[in-house]
Amino acid sequence: MNGQTIDLEKIKNSSDGTVRGMVSAGINEVMVNNPYFAAGGGLMLLGTALALGRQGVVKSSGFIYRQLLVDLEIPSKDKSYLWFLEWMSQYKHRSSRHLSVETNYLQHDNGAVTTKFSLVPGPGKHFIKYRGAYMMVNRERSGRLLDMTSGAPFETVTLTTLYRDRHLFSDMLAEAKKLALKAREGKTVIYTSWGPEWRPFGQPRKKRVIGSVILDKGVSQTIVNDVKDFLSSGEWYHTRGIPYRRGYLLYGPPGSGKTSFIQALAGELDYNICILNLSEANLTDDRLNHLMNHIPERSILLLEDIDAAFNKRAQSDEKGYTSGVTFSGLLNALDGVASAEECITFMTTNHPEKLDPALLRPGRVDFKVLIDNATDHQVKEMFLRFYGDEPELCNEFMAKFKKLQLTHVSTAQLQGLFVYNKRDPHQAISMIETLRNPNSVF
């Protein structure tokens, strides 16, 4: 009541006695004298104070979070995303209640398939202890955004740890990368085009030893030397302003080892292979150009059966698709590959006579090699490779091979005969006549 008297007194004494003074006095009287309003006001004040307090807590916790914690976000588009998930699936000191399964097929050289399940951390929160530091791993799926190329939802993994432990992030990613690369060691990754980008096709394959592909005398070494020389001449090309690329054409009959040789060469150089199928439906000039300018590093671009792509160009397959790549589109794409990195293109064909000379001009194809049916040298080498050091049996095989005047025998046919008689060279010798028919099935 005292407060009220003082207020009224103030108004009374106010020299101007304005309307404003009277209104505020009226409000004051109603608020203070009326018990309902007084209680409401109190509540309001309390509510405001609580809200402010809450905001303060939120703000200060945000402040503390910013000061004490640090986040690292890895989006699914980034290479390290899969590395990290794989690393975490093998990491022991973790607590995960949400797992997702990732199935890997592993195809062995003999064609058998084994499956491996890795339990990678699924969407949700996980905790790990890494070198004494606790980290929270939050894998989140963005509900709306879709990766248009794969149809998979975009995801992010966010790692949170104490600010003082932030240096552990890079150690951890380096470890994840090392683990991923170790799994690829001694392997060749085959990439195929997937929409506008290159994707690994299946599991990385075991490198093929270059010596296992038997070409005619000196051919393999000549190509290997040429490629190695090219790879070490970057500076030479750059100072002369010549595009740093080299095109190779391997031509010859089916089953002579063209594709196998390129795979073995990639293994020898520790390169990967990007296979582009020019007859693929929906491949347009634009996509071709984009793909050829975005080849993963340390990769050989392989264009198989280059003649077939344009024979079929005018036709459409049963679904009505036609290949969208035009011949001039291919020439432009080959010319336009403009990168500081080296670019090695290998093309193969069974019908070099069908190729347009424009494709074969230097700059597009710089090195042409005939990979032909088996020569005597190759037959001998293949026999010894399959049956070991058996010179007498080898001579017997060669004598029979010549006596029967076998010509046009592919190395693939020889391999077929030797694989069929894995442990029995005598049997192989007695079955030699089957080589007359290129399609004989044992």
Ligand X SMILES: Nc1ncnc2c1ncn2[C@@H]1O[C@H](COP(=O)(O)OP(=O)(O)OP(=O)(O)O)[C@@H](O)[C@H]1O
Alpha-carbon span 435 to 418, nearest angstrom: 11
- 277 lines the binding site for ligand X (CB under 6 A): no
- Select the span of 7-15, 208-216, 235-243, 359-367 touching ligand X (CB under 6 A): 208-216
Nearest residue to 98 (alpha-carbon basis) of 154, 156, 153, 138: 138
Query: Which residues are 275's β-sheet partners?
Result: 192, 302
Work out the angle at residue 186's Cα, subtended by the Cα atoms of residues 183 and 191, and round it to the nearest 5 degrees. Answer: 75
- Select the span of 153-161, 253-261, 395-403, 413-421 touching Mg ion (CB under 5 A): 253-261
The smaller minimum CB distance to Mg ion, of residues 155 and 307, is found at: 307
- 263 lines the binding site for Mg ion (CB under 5 A): no
Among 188, 259, 263, 415, indicate the residue that binds Mg ion (CB under 5 A). 259
The smaller minimum CB distance to Mg ion, of residues 89 and 259, is found at: 259
Q: State the nearest-atom distance from the C-beta of 313 to Mg ion, in Å.
A: 21
Alpha-carbon span 155 to 157, nearest angstrom: 7
Alpha-carbon span 100 to 121, nearest angstrom: 6
247 interacts with, out of ligand X, Mg ion, none, CB within 5 to 8 A per kind:
none
- 299 lines the binding site for ligand X (CB under 6 A): no
E strands in 231-387: 245-251, 272-276, 299-303, 343-349, 367-370
Nearest residue to 149 (alpha-carbon basis) of 334, 11, 44, 290: 290
Alpha-carbon span 155 to 123, nearest angstrom: 9
- 329 lines the binding site for ligand X (CB under 6 A): no
Nearest residue to 74 (alpha-carbon basis) of 135, 168, 138: 138
Q: Which of residues 223-262 bind ligand X (CB under 6 A)?
A: 254-260
Q: State the nearest-atom distance from the C-beta of 365 to ligand X, in Å.
A: 17
Token couple for 281: 């439906």
Q: State the nearest-atom distance from the C-beta of 305 to ligand X, in Å.
A: 7
336 interacts with, out of ligand X, Mg ion, none, CB within 5 to 8 A per kind:
none
Q: State the nearest-atom distance from the C-beta of 300 to ligand X, in Å.
A: 14
Token couple for 81: 């995303």
- 188 lines the binding site for ligand X (CB under 6 A): no
- 380, 418 contact by CB (below 8 A): no
**Strand bridging mode 187-188 / 197-200:** unpaired
The smaller minimum CB distance to Mg ion, of residues 258 and 380, is found at: 258
Q: State the nearest-atom distance from the C-beta of 431 to Mg ion, in Å.
A: 26
365 interacts with, out of Mg ion, ligand X, none, CB within 5 to 8 A per kind:
none
Token couple for 270: 């520790």
The smaller minimum CB distance to Mg ion, of residues 195 and 253, is found at: 253
- 415 lines the binding site for Mg ion (CB under 5 A): no
Nearest residue to 228 (alpha-carbon basis) of 187, 266, 172: 266
Among 350, 396, 420, 431, indicate the residue that binds ligand X (CB under 6 A). 350
**Which residue is listed with tokens 């018990």?**
35
Q: State the nearest-atom distance from the C-beta of 352 to ligand X, in Å.
A: 12
Nearest residue to 23 (alpha-carbon basis) of 36, 35, 7, 39: 7
The smaller minimum CB distance to ligand X, of residues 109 and 185, is found at: 109
CA count, 13 A, side-chain hemisphere, 99? 15
Task: Identify the H or E element spanning 430.
Answer: helix 425-430
- 411 lines the binding site for ligand X (CB under 6 A): yes
- Select the span of 125-133, 148-156, 168-176, 411-419 touching ligand X (CB under 6 A): 411-419
Number of residues that bind ligand X (CB under 6 A): 14
- 415 lines the binding site for ligand X (CB under 6 A): yes
For 23, the 3-state DSSP assignment is helix
The smaller minimum CB distance to ligand X, of residues 83 and 248, is found at: 248
Q: State the nearest-atom distance from the C-beta of 279 to Mg ion, in Å.
A: 14
**Which residue is listed with tokens 């049956």?**
387
Q: State the nearest-atom distance from the C-beta of 213 to Mg ion, in Å.
A: 12
Nearest residue to 294 (alpha-carbon basis) of 338, 252, 327: 338
- 412 lines the binding site for ligand X (CB under 6 A): yes
- Select the span of 26-34, 196-204, 209-217, 282-290 touching ligand X (CB under 6 A): 209-217
- 276 lines the binding site for ligand X (CB under 6 A): no
- Letter string b/e over residues 254-265, b meaning 16 or more CB atoms within 10 A of that residue's CB: ebbbbbbbbbbb
* Binding region for Mg ion (CB under 5 A): 258-259
* Binding region for ligand X (CB under 6 A): 213-215, 254-260, 350, 411-412, 415
